[in-house]
Amino acid sequence: MSVSRNQASARSEARPLLEGTRLAMRYEFVGARDGSDTEAPYVHSTPALVETSLGVSAGEIVAIVGANGCGKSTLLRALAQVAVGPGVAGEVRIDGLAVAREQAARVRAFVPQTPDVTADFTAREVVRLGRFARGRDDAAVDRALAAVGLSARAHRKVDTLSGGERQRVAVARALAQVDGAERPVLLLDEPFRGIDPGEVARIVAALGAIATSGAVILSLHDPGLARVVATRAMIMRAGRVLFDGPTREVLTAATLTEAYQHPMVECADWLAPEIAGKGTMAACSTV
Amino acid sequence: MNSRGFVLLAAVLFLAVLLRILIGPVSGDEGTRLVFAVPSAEIFGLRVMSVASAAVVGATLGLSGLALQTLLRNPLASPFVLGISSGAGFGVACVLVLGYLFAWGRVPWATETLGAVFGASLALLIVSRFGRGGDGHNPITLVLAGVILGSIFSAGSVLLEHLVPHGLRGDLLSWMSGRLPEIPNATHLATVAGLAVIAGTSLARSARALDVSMLSDDEARSSGVNLAQLRGKLFWTGGILAGVAVAYAGPIGFVGLVGPHLARRVLGPHHALLVPGAALAGATLLVAADAVRQVIDLGSGRLPVGVLTALAGGPAFLWLLRRGAIR
């Protein structure tokens, strides 16, 4: 597998487990026209994702990396088929089949960037909601809670948990959703936000277990973590995939400098932003 | 299943029913006084119908409130707070005034009900549209939009009242404050009850999907819930039930707000319990309010039950605000 610019079009593996074809999304909002002196309302139509096609095979853990607003979340939402509206286009196939979102929920789970629950559920009850498509399975719920280290807090109300714990509840709900699927697909948008390193390691192990038979695609802000977690990386910018390939080859100082439009420095096994006049962050100060 | 919660609600309902049936005015040489006694068979029959009337309307409002709270993911949503009851009242007032102006004679109750459902749905559409902000409904904007919309519809109803003669105007005014009929019409009552049963059964069949819809939209959709279909069901359930309840008894406030909250407190957040629970709690609240109004004698007849529910439900609403029910 080699690094390719633009799209993962040159892949030669057997049929991908998850395929997105010509995925696109536009956001519309009303505001003043750029460069105009008048304040007359003007409908802006901004492409958040520009006709993107990709395929992810079983066994892969794919990290999507890029600056804020580059389209990572939009791509994941498109693959999860949760985006609705006139600006949404493209087709998603799982195991070669274009199935409705409701059917796809049996094998594909998604954790959005900001999980939420407005009812007074316990952690366990939220995780159990993940079994909506596949049917009740208390053992699957227990396994999912253990995978994120929340077994001991399973009966706590979600709104009494910390931010990181709530995030883990959302990940556990997704794990429970695909528990029992032959070839599961897991889509996670910034899944480690607010989670301590020990628990990150625990969840990474769970994702590895999913990837033995299925595929995991996750967005990450930290390219260093992406190097450790993922087997393949995509770098996005302005709604397009700029680079795609094996993690070590894609996530380099040069590609990330282009992605973030800011000098990046490679130090040991990590990548760090260069801070004007001060070298890099502490860990890389000797580089 | 939280059977203790159901037993508690059922026990309170039983007490309220007992109170409503045993307490009543008796006229004698010293004027009218309240008596706590087993009534005659005829009076007993009338009171049973009154209890049934209050229970059915209360259950209908409880279910409507639950549907709206789930639809808008907002614990402060209810037919009254969102101006939907006022919209339904306006719809009925329109039908009645049109009936008078065009000399149609007595407008059939079914036509009044259609007017109420139309007004309720219109109000729900408007408030839903104005309450939307960012990635969903903003609770504060939604409630504010509902309050303003309710005021507009109420003013519209008052305006319409001035187009009809005094007699009809008095009836309209009394009805607008929320009044259970003194002698319920069995057919009308059966219609409201039938619709409530159909709507309740439909909601109960979607209980698991309703639970999942309490997650964020993206999580609910990716879990396999057809949110558009589910929300369509909740929209029409909330609107139609509020409409028929208003057509039957006028806009009775706060039962649709407090009923579902009461059910959540004693039964928990699962809709498999909440759907029957909200109906039971709504019925309990309105039968209790109807029983309490029997013992309040201001010398000018019984108070409309809507006055009592507003007096009790208003503070409950403020308590919810204080408690941070808005998120």
**A23 neighbors A52 (Cβ within 8 angstroms):** yes
Which chain B residues touch A126 with a CB distance below 8 Å?
Answer: 215
- CB-CB under 8 Å, A115 with B219: yes
pLDDT band for B302, please (50, 70, 90 cuts): confident
The CA distance from A250 to A256, in Å, is 9
Domain limits, chain A: 4-251, 262-287
B134 interfaces chain A, CB cutoff of 8 Å: no
Q: Residue B59 pLDDT more than 90? A: yes
Residue A239: predicted pLDDT: 93
The CATH label, of 3.40.1110.10, 3.20.20.70, 3.40.50.300, 3.40.640.10, for the domain at A4-251 is: 3.40.50.300
Q: Per DSSP, which regions of chain B are E strands?
A: 23-28, 31-36, 132-133, 136-137
Taking residues A239-255, what's their average pLDDT?
A: 93
Domain holding B32, by residue range, is 3-294+303-323
- Percentage of chain B modeled with pLDDT above 90: 39
State yes or no: pLDDT of A286 exceeds 70: no
Phi and psi torsions of B184, nearest 5°: -65, 145
Give the contacts of B171 (CB within 8 A, at least 6 positions apart). none
Inter-chain contact B218–A77, Cβ cutoff 8 Å? yes
Nearest CA to CA, how far is A19 from chain B (Å)? Answer: 17
> Do A139 and A160 form a contact (C-beta atoms < 8 A)?
no
Q: Does B212 touch chain A (CB under 8 A)?
A: yes
pLDDT at B141 over 90: no
**How far off is chain A from B123, nearest CA to CA, in Å?**
24
Mean pLDDT of chain B: 86
Q: Which long-range contacts (CB under 8 A, 24 or more apart) does B311-315 make?
A: B312/B254, B312/B258, B313/B80, B313/B253, B313/B254, B313/B255, B313/B257, B313/B258, B314/B253, B314/B254
For residue B204, what are its two tokens? 């109960």
Is residue B277 scored above 70 in pLDDT? Answer: yes
Q: Do B223 and A105 touch (CB under 8 A)?
A: yes
Nearest CB among B214, B224, B269 relative to A133 is that of B224
Query: In this predicted model, what pLDDT tens digit does every residue of B191-203 receive, in sequence order?
Result: 999 999 999 999 9
ipTM of the complex: 0.88
pLDDT score, position A287? 33
Segment B175-223, tens digit of pLDDT:
777 788 878 889 999 999 999 999 999 999 999 999 999 999 999 999 9
Q: Do the Cβ atoms of B224 and A105 come within 8 Å?
A: yes
**Distance between CA A180 and CA A176 in Å, rounded?**
9
Encode pLDDT of A166-182 as tens digits.
999 999 999 999 999 99
Query: E strands within chain A?
Result: 4-5, 18-32, 41-56, 61-66, 88-94, 108-111, 185-189, 215-219, 232-237, 240-246, 264-267, 270-275, 279-280
Give the phi and the psi of residue A270 in degrees, each rounded to 5.
Answer: -125, 170
- Please tell me the distance in Å from A264's CA to the nearest CA on chain B: 34
What's the first-to-final CA gap in chain B, in angstroms?
Answer: 28
Give the N- to C-terminal CA distance of chain A in Å, as an integer.
30
With a pLDDT cut of 70, the percent of chain B lying above it is: 91
What's B131's domain CATH number?
Answer: 1.10.3470.10
pLDDT at residue B324 tops 70: no
> Six-digit token pair at A26?
């536009």
Contact status of A20 with chain B (Cβ, < 8 Å) = no
Q: What is the pLDDT of residue B307?
A: 86
Nearest to A109 among B222, B226, B268 (CB): B222
Confidence of residue B327 (pLDDT cuts 50, 70, 90): very low
- The pLDDT confidence band at residue A285, using thresholds 50, 70 and 90, is very low
Q: What is the pLDDT of residue B1?
A: 52
